[in-house]
């Protein structure tokens, strides 16, 4: 959060690292790379690439605000909008009337952000810009650290992808020959079982052959809500939310804390490395922090955090539900806490796991409960009791909703491990 230090990182499915001791057989190695086994050798935290869905709206709000859209104004949030003959809808088609950007984050209104993306696309010249377009949305995303490695001290980190006009043209050039061939000869293998779909694919391939270099309105609209060709890693997202929380500093994440000799003496502590600053004003950053703080209390994550003692530890975060053609919705929750004194940033992704509020946010809640020693069952029981007896009084016994905290004091470990004479590691010293 304040240093870039990584406290914990997990990828599931996983494997037993002891398989490397003494060499590994080919069958075991092949299984760790197998799609059927879930590719356990792949660290999804830093090597996975996924559409971020609505968690990406922090970047899009920043782009809009820094491009002149007022934080004091209200914006239309209809159930859907039509762009270029295509319908783009809110989740379940729900509209919210005229709302602020703050409210658009809290209730996750897609159509507000669709319109931002579309209007910025038009201001850049639409399909045929004159001169150099601003690409405000893409440039802001890069300012948040998306589209490039975070610099973590682990190998094979992914870059993710932030598409724009230049990317679209290079992608078109790389795939033009294939698309032109398909546009002329079609998909005879598909036509054997589904002629109508084969005809559709042939028309699409022809379109991509001839006009595939154009950055279209629909792509700009999807970009604004973290869909389409946008890809990020969970690590990139956690790092971006940490920067929001700490006042705008992007750090290079670090797993290592120090180089320690065999006898336990410190050789060299690893200093935090600043990667950059979020390209947003203090006003925009404060506005965004306030909106994220309300999401788990009165927004799309409120159900997941019902009964959580936010009077003790206030959570700030954003849900995301990302669609990919041919797959189920993937669930995201990106967050930090405490909202008023940030110490931890947590990003949870469940690929094809459903909506962010239903799947990822409850997982994040359990992590926070473990950090602070809150018992989810006890907290819910206490909430039920308070509903029956009225509001709880100040000075209530905290033991009712506490268990053993994973990080006493609610802060990351600050000390270094003690190395015993036999080379084993003693518990961390705070």
Q: H/E element holding 377?
A: helix 376-389
Quick one: which of 107, 86, 89 has its CA closest to 98? 107
Q: Please check whether residue 66 is in contact with residue 92, taking contact to mean a CB–CB distance below 8 angstroms.
A: no
**Beta-carbon count within 10 A of 424 CB:** 9
User: In this predicted model, what pLDDT tens digit does every residue of 324-335 receive, in sequence order?
Assistant: 888 899 999 999
Whether 255 is covered by a domain: the verdict is yes
Q: How confident is the model at residue 378 (pLDDT cuts 50, 70, 90)?
A: low
Whether 152 is covered by a domain: the verdict is no
Q: Can you tell me the distance from the alpha carbon of 349 to that of 336, in angstroms, rounded to the nearest whole number?
A: 15
- For tokens 């990080």, what's the residue? 407
Q: Can you tell me the distance from the alpha carbon of 270 to that of 273, in angstroms, rounded to the nearest whole number?
A: 9
Whether 30 is covered by a domain: the verdict is no
Whether 169 is covered by a domain: the verdict is no
Is the per-residue pLDDT at 393 higher than 50? no
Q: pTM of the entire structure?
A: 0.91
Whether 111 is covered by a domain: the verdict is yes
Q: Which of 96-100, 278-282, 408-412 has the lowest mean pLDDT?
A: 408-412
User: In this predicted model, what pLDDT tens digit does every residue of 109-132 receive, in sequence order?
Assistant: 999 999 999 999 999 999 999 899
Q: Can you tell me the distance from the alpha carbon of 148 to that of 159, in angstroms, rounded to the nearest whole number?
A: 4
The better pLDDT of the pair 344, 423 is held by 344
Is the per-residue pLDDT at 300 higher than 50? yes
Whether 187 is covered by a domain: the verdict is no
Phi and psi at residue 240, to the nearest 5°: -65, -45
**Beta-carbon count within 10 A of 212 CB:** 20
Is the per-residue pLDDT at 134 higher than 80? yes
Residue-range definition of the domain harbouring residue 64: 53-143+232-391
Beta bridge partners of 402: 374
Residue 415: predicted pLDDT: 81
Is the per-residue pLDDT at 150 higher than 70? yes
Q: Which of 53-62, 231-240, 245-254, 420-429 has the lowest mean pLDDT?
A: 420-429
Is the per-residue pLDDT at 395 higher than 50? no
Which CATH number do you get for residue 266? 3.40.710.10
By CB atoms closer than 10 A (0-12, 13-18, 19+), residue 39 is: middle
Q: Which of 101-105, 143-147, 162-166, 395-399 has the lowest mean pLDDT?
A: 395-399
> How much of the chain exceeds pLDDT 70, in percent?
93
Is the per-residue pLDDT at 412 higher than 60? yes
Mean pLDDT of 280-292: 98
The better pLDDT of the pair 422, 54 is held by 54
Residue 208: predicted pLDDT: 94
Distance, first Cα to last Cα, the chain: 17
User: In this predicted model, what pLDDT tens digit does every residue of 27-66 receive, in sequence order?
Assistant: 999 988 898 888 999 999 999 999 999 999 999 999 999 9
Whether 404 is covered by a domain: the verdict is no
Whether 353 is covered by a domain: the verdict is yes
Domain count, the chain: 1
Residue 119: predicted pLDDT: 97
Residue 267: predicted pLDDT: 84
């Amino acid at each position: 959060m304040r240093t870039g230090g990584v406290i914990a990182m997990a990828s599931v499915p996983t494997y037993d690292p002891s398989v490397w001791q003494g060499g590994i057989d080919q069958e075991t190695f092949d299984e760790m790379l197998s799609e059927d086994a879930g590719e356990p050798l792949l660290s999804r935290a830093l090597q996975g690439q996924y559409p971020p869905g609505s968690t990406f709206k922090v970047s899009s709000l920043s782009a809009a605000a820094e491009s002149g859209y007022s934080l004091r104004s209200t914006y239309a949030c209809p159930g859907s909008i039509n762009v270029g003959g295509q319908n783009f809808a809110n989740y379940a088609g729900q509209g919210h009337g005229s709302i602020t950007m703050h409210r658009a984050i809290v209730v996750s209104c897609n159509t507000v952000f669709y319109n931002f993306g579309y209007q910025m696309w038009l201001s850049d010249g639409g399909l045929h810009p004159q001169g150099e377009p601003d690409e405000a949305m893409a440039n802001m995303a890069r300012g948040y650290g998306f589209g490039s490695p975070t610099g973590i001290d682990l190998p094979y980190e992914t870059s993710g992808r932030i598409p724009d006009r230049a990317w679209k043209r290079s992608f078109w050039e790389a795939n033009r020959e294939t698309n032109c061939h398909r546009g002329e000869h079609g998909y005879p293998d598909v036509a054997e079982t589904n002629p109508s779909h084969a005809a559709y694919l042939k028309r699409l391939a022809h379109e991509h052959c001839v006009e595939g270099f154009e950055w279209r309105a629909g792509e700009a609209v999807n970009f604004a809500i973290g869909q389409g060709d946008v890809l990020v890693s969970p690590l990139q997202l956690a790092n971006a939310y940490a920067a929001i929380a700490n006042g705008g500093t992007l750090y290079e994440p670090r797993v290592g804390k120090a180089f320690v000799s065999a006898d336990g003496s410190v050789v060299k502590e690893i200093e935090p490395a600043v990667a950059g600053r979020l390209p947003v004003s203090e006003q925009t950053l404060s506005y965004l922090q306030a909106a994220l703080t309300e999401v788990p209390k009165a927004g799309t994550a409120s159900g997941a955090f019902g009964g959580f003692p936010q009077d003790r530890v206030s959570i700030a975060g954003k849900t995301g539900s990302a669609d990919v053609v041919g797959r189920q919705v993937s669930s995201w929750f990106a967050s930090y806490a405490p909202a008023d004194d940030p110490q931890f940033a947590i990003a949870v992704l469940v690929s094809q796991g459903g909506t962010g509020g239903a799947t990822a946010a409850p997982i994040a809640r359990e992590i926070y409960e473990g950090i602070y020693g809150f018992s989810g069952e006890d907290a819910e029981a206490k909430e039920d009791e308070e509903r029956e007896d009225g509001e709880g009084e100040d000075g209530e016994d905290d033991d009712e909703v506490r268990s053993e905290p994973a990080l006493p004091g609610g802060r990351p470990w600050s000390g270094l491990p003690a190395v015993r004479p036999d080379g084993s590691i003693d518990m961390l010293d705070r």
